[in-house]
Each structure stands twice: as structure tokens, then as C-alpha cells.
Structure 1
């Protein structure tokens, strides 16, 4: 009788594993097919919609796969920008579909996110008013605002509806691992330095993109290690993987990414078993040092070159950021209480046109929100971020790396509101944090 029961328990698990492997195989083939030309990219985007057969889970997968496809190295694949309108249609369509999942949520889930959604709604109404009253480009400001809010809320609600039947940490880790492993094997290839000839970008479209992607990967790696029942919990694997990623980040010359990765590693050490802190720190930094020695790099010279990014060492260390900082500061002083409109430049004239040509590079999330929304909007933004962090204070030390990483990368590369880019992964990380309840999703806490 016990053998019969055991066989019936194992069979469904084996079937699920096989289905998962087949699905990943299909996703990889679809991504590779999309690399060839514009026609295969179009076919791939349409075929990707078959994942909607999995309903809400499929919609979330589609959003994340499109985000991955967006940042692929242009030396390897055709740019998805050729089908920007179709991409937006799919992202908005899937997000609106997920929004309707709100009516399927249980009382506990509704209670968990109701406060967040109320504060986000207030932030939205406030910024629409600011756009209409103060912005140089009100229509564009409102569109950018809604592209953030709709996708953010859709992802939050979608993860809330599916978290107890799907392990999003594991799935996201596998997605990220795919890009990271391929990038590692591309270190010696010229195409990995396509952007400027000396900064490593791997499979991504920019060295800074690879850097911030690596920060998110480190956060996922630690979170998955803390919650998984699999052999990945082996500390040696965690240390070895982190060391390799940190080495690749140094090759990318992304200062924001390196600092952010080190902060996450130190937080992990702080929240780990007290007896292991020194061992973990020593192991990680010893591994990095060994890699430098192995490749014969002068560490002192490398660090100076890394910090100055090819500038003269007599110049301001933050020279590459000065224009962004000065522009945001000027915009803030122009309208300190209410801001100048969401994610749009400040112009000497006012226009109600709609165009994708008006691009801003905010650089820092704090200065960006102050510039966009003023002090009042900044307070609303801080309120719903605090609400998000407070919701899962019970498991903060286990899973906090996910939300913290989204803020760390946005301190130097402000991607948080970029739903057209990897902002979607920021929303995924926040949503996973909010709904991380181990006893409800049968996860192990290490």
C-alpha cells in the first residue's frame, strides 16, 4: 500500500519536471529563432502568446521573456525595437489581463496589497494632475506614468494570484541563469565588448545593463539559496557563483553594479549565521583575488581604471554623472513641491504632442522622483515603498535582497520606472517579496 501511494506521489512530480524541461527547451529555441531577422522575431513574439494557455502564470512569463529579449546584444540578435508597438501591445495586454485577477484574489491576498494599490493610485492621480498643470509634455508624461502603473499593478496582482501554485523565485532564477551562463562563456569574444571596445556586456546590449542585471542575479541567487530545497543550498556553490559574477561585473566597469553586489553580499553575511560571516566574506574576496592573480592583472591599476572609466585620473570621479545630476537638480529647483511631469524633459515651451523621441536619463531614483513629482510626490512614493518592505518584515532577512537590489541599481542606473526595459524585473522582485510566505508555497527556509 505504501509503495502504491509513493508511486502515485512521484509520478505527477516527474511529469511536472518533464513538462518544465520541455517548456524551457521551447523558450530557448524561440529566443534563438527570434535572433535571426525581423521576420523570425515577429513570429517568435506571436508564438510566445501560446503561453497564455497557462492563463495568469503564462501572462507573467510572457512579460518576463520579452524583457529578457529586449536587452539582448545587438551584435548577436536583431533589436526588438523594430516591433516596439507590438511589444507595448503585448505588455499592456498581459498586464491588463493580470489586473482582472484582482477579483480572483482571496481575502488575505486582497488585504496584503490593498494598501499598496491605494497609495500607488494616489501617486498616479497626483502625477496626472502635475502633468496637466506643470509639465512641458503632459500627454507623454501621462502615457509614461500609466505604462509604469498598469504593468507594476498587473505584475503585483498576478504574482499575488499565482504565488501559492507557482515558484516564481525558481523560475526567475532559471531565466536569469540562462543569460548569465551564456555571458560567462562569451568573456573572450569581441562581440561581448561591442558597445565601447573595452567594457564587458556579455549577452546584453550595454555594459551598464550587464552590471545591473548582475546585481539582480546576485539577489536572486541568494534568495533562491535561502529558500530552495535543492542542492544549490551548498554554500560552496553560492560563494563560487557570486565570485564569478563579481569578476564579470568588474569587467563591465559598472561602478553602480559592483558597489550594489558588494552591499548584497555583505547583507547576506550579516543576516547569515554569525559564525559564518567572516568565512563567507573571506571566501568571496579571496576568490576574486585569486581570479585577478590567475589572469595576471595589476589590482591597483585595474581599480583606478575601473573607477575613472577611461577618464583622466585628475578629473572628477563622477564626471560621467555630472550632467544628469545637474539637470535633475535644476529641474527640482524649478518646481520643488510639485515637480515637472513624470519622466519627461523640461522644455522652454509646452506641447500636447505624443512622441517617443523625448528621452530622459534620470540616473538616480531619488533625484528623479523629486524632479518628476516634487516633494509631495516623493513622499507618496516613499510611503508605498515603506509599505511594501513592512508587509514581509517577518521574512525580511531571508528575502530582502530582492527589493533592496531594485533600489540599489536605481541609485546609479534609474530603471525602476522603465517598464519598456528591465523595470518589469523590479516589479517582479517587489511582488515576490510581498507574497513570500513559505508555509503557503511549501518552501524551505535555511
Structure 2
């Protein structure tokens, strides 16, 4: 049976996407756009999730193309308000209830224990509690929203087609140095080179899972190769490694859905890209040039170890873990020995490092075990052939720990996780074979 899907972009969606780009003009326009997302709530679960995606995307745009939106506190209102709309308005289909219940209980179990332990050891327990809630509530909301609407709405293609516009605009900025704010590395229209890299990795995973691109394999290959080139230009190691891991896991786990011809095209295109890059940078000593290119990308010309940029942060988490190994030192907050403050401050910043050390340092062995259990619940809830979506969502956090940052781009990771769990093309009768 073929499940008929709603049109990806209704008129109201097109209107909000136009408003999204108009919000680039100045800070006032950005603020008004954020406020306008409240009107999306009248469309229930679907509108609330789209509001979450749009407010997240607006927050990661480069200041070179989009004025910074003021009213940052209202951004939180949109995030939390949209999450509550989803929780109160959702009606989960029977076939998805068991998966949803298992995941939600696992998230809430992790959140409750971490909140309780934060009041024992954290230097900032109130802020730690808020950060746990700001992680758990949107995560649960996105899981429920996709579970509720996936039978009639294709969230993967909504995200893919919207972000295709953003990556086309990013490609246009390649020749212009004005758009390169950090270390003269390419960042497209996103706010940082590393952000560009990890968003690109998420986008590649979504393109591989896209029904639209499943019917246009040549476009799919061209888009992926183009995005890989842009990731290389951005010098984002996390983005590149994650993208490669996503592509490899997709190819090995989806042999039936991709013909040998398409596989050869992808491999040839990748080889061609490498050859072109090599020819562009080639000098008299080709081996020396190749070595220097690899060194520059891997080490970023500033250290003798690949992970030097994260070494200080990892060491800080290691110290926190050794201070309180069983329950940690508080979720996503700085730890100062002997200091306990009950202030509530949005400006308190912490560098999270990578997922493993962040968990060990912040929530200790107990919280890490609970999170590992949550991961296993998610892992066993989806199909093996879709594992590349989960690879994309979690591998990113080995280099850029954004999974717990709802005010950053973590909502896009929650969406990818939800697609892994609930995007079952075969059972819905919409699994496409490649189009020649």
C-alpha cells in the first residue's frame, strides 16, 4: 500500500521560508521573524516542529549574511513553547507508541538522575537543572512529533530541500573572502567553519535518506560531492570524518538500494575531486605537497597532535571526573571546587569537548551508564539499513559536542535520530529503487 504524503511545502511553509530570508536584513527583522514563529503553533504538532527547525537554523547563520537576531530570550520561548505544543497536541499512532515510550522513559530517567546529582556536586545546580530540561524537553518533543506525523509527512525531505537552498547559497560564497570570518577558512552562510562542517555532515545523511534524491540519483551524487568539497575548504575535520563515516555506512548497509553503476559513479566522482584538488595544489615535489596538504587539514598547521585544539577541554573534563567519578560535577556547567551558586545566568559558557569526556566529567559513571542505555534503546528502535543516520547524529559529537545544546543546533540532531527510529520506507510502501 502506498502512503500518500502531504506536499512538502504548503503555502504557509513557503511564506515562513521567505520571512526567514527577509530576516537577514537587520536585527529587528531577525527579532520579528523569531516572534512570528508563534503563528506556526496554530498548525499543531507539524507547525511546532517546523518552528523548532527554523529558529534553530536562524541561530546558526553567519553575521556576514544575516544580521544577528535580538531577543535571544524569545528564542528560548519559541524552543520551549514549541516543545510544549507538541507534547500537549500530539496523538501518537499505535504502531509507534512502544518505541516512543521506551525512548521517552530513557530520556526522562537520565534527566531526573542528572538533575538530582547536580544538586549534590554542581557549582551551579540551578543552571545545570535548566540545561538538563532544555536538552530533554526538545529531544522528547522532536521524537514525539516525528512519531506522530511521519505517516503523512516526510520530515527528511522538508529538511533536505530547505537546506539544499542554504548549501547552494553557501557554494555561491566560495570565491568571496568577505564571507570567511574564521582563519580565512570557508564557512558558507553558517556562523562558523566547524558549524558548517557538522551541518554539512547532517545534510549528507539526510540527502542519502531523501525520497526526492532517491528518484534523482545523479543529482544526489553531485550534491554529495559538492558538499564534500565545501567541507574540505572549511577545514572541518569533524565534518569530514563524520561525512565519510556516514557515506561508508550507507553504502555497506544499503546494497540493495544502490546499484553498482551508482556506486561506481560516486567512487569516480570522489576520485576526480581528489585528483583536481591534487593538481591544483601540486608543486615540483608532488609527494611533499601531498603530505603538506594532509598535514594542514589534519593538524591545522598549529600543533603536533590532531586533537590539540580539544586537549585543554578534555583535560578539564578529566579533572572533573577524577573529582567526583560516580556522579560527576554538574551538567554542562563549569565546576569550581568549594563553590556553590544558585544564580541563574544565561551567559555562563562551558566548552563541552567531546561526548565521552563530557559525560564522564559532567554526570560521572552513573549518568554515563544511563546515557549509554538511552543510546542502546535508540539503536534497537530503528532499522539497521538506516544506521548511517545515527552515525551522523552521534559521530559529530566526538569532535563538536553539540548534542545537549538546544540553543545551538542539537534540534537538527534530534530530528536525525527521530528519522532513524521512525522513517520506515519499506513498511510505508514508499521505498524507492534508484532511477537511472
Quick one: which of 237, 241, 247 aligns to 2:229? 247
* Structure 1 spans left out of the alignment, 5+ residues: 1-11
Shift of residue 299, structure 1, vs aligned partner:
4.0
Q: Is the 8 A contact 1:56 1:158 kept in 2?
A: yes
Shift of residue 178, structure 1, vs aligned partner:
1.7
CA RMSD in angstroms, aligned pairs only? 2.2
Q: Is the 8 A contact 2:242 2:391 kept in 1?
A: no
The separation in 2 between residues aligned to 1:27 and 1:106, in whole angstroms, is 28
The equivalent of 1:262 in structure 2 is: 244
The separation in 1 between residues aligned to 2:22 and 2:254, in whole angstroms, is 43
Distance 1:61 1:294, change over 3 A: farther
The equivalences for 1:335-374 within 5 A come to 335-348=324-337, 349-374=339-364
Quick one: which of 68, 74, 93 aligns to 1:106? 93
The separation in 2 between residues aligned to 1:138 and 1:237, in whole angstroms, is 50
Shift of residue 115, structure 1, vs aligned partner:
1.3
Shift of residue 96, structure 1, vs aligned partner:
0.9
TM-score (norm 1): 0.89
Deviations 1:25-58 (A, max 9, x none): 4233212221122221222222233222321101
Quick one: which of 25, 47, 51 aligns to 1:62? 51
The equivalent of 1:208 in structure 2 is: 194
The equivalent of 2:71 in structure 1 is: 83
The equivalences for 1:37-76 within 5 A come to 37-76=26-65
* Structure 2 spans left out of the alignment, 5+ residues: 283-288
Ranked by relative contact order (alpha carbons within 8 Å, sequence separation 6 or more), the top structure is: 2
Deviations 1:187-228 (A, max 9, x none): 1112321123x211110000000000111011011111xxx2
Shift of residue 384, structure 1, vs aligned partner:
1.2
Quick one: which of 273, 286, 305 aligns to 2:255? 273
Distance 1:343 1:177, change over 3 A: same
Q: Does 1:331 align with 2:313?
A: no
Shift of residue 179, structure 1, vs aligned partner:
1.3
Give the stretch that moved more between structures: 149-158 or 31-40: 31-40
Deviations 1:356-412 (A, max 9, x none): 2321111210111111111111111011111111012xx321x22222101110000
Report the secondary structure of 1:362's partner residue: coil
Shift of residue 346, structure 1, vs aligned partner:
0.7
Quick one: which of 7, 30, 37 aligns to 2:19? 30
| Residue-pair matches, total | 420
Q: Is the 8 A contact 2:9 2:158 kept in 1?
A: no
The equivalences for 1:216-231 within 5 A come to 216-224=202-210, 228=211, 230=212
Q: Is the 8 A contact 2:64 2:189 kept in 1?
A: no
The separation in 2 between residues aligned to 1:373 and 1:445, in whole angstroms, is 43
Shift of residue 271, structure 1, vs aligned partner:
2.2
The separation in 2 between residues aligned to 1:25 and 1:110, in whole angstroms, is 32
The equivalences for 1:278-357 within 5 A come to 279=264, 282-293=267-278, 295-296=280-281, 298-311=289-302, 315-348=304-337, 349-357=339-347
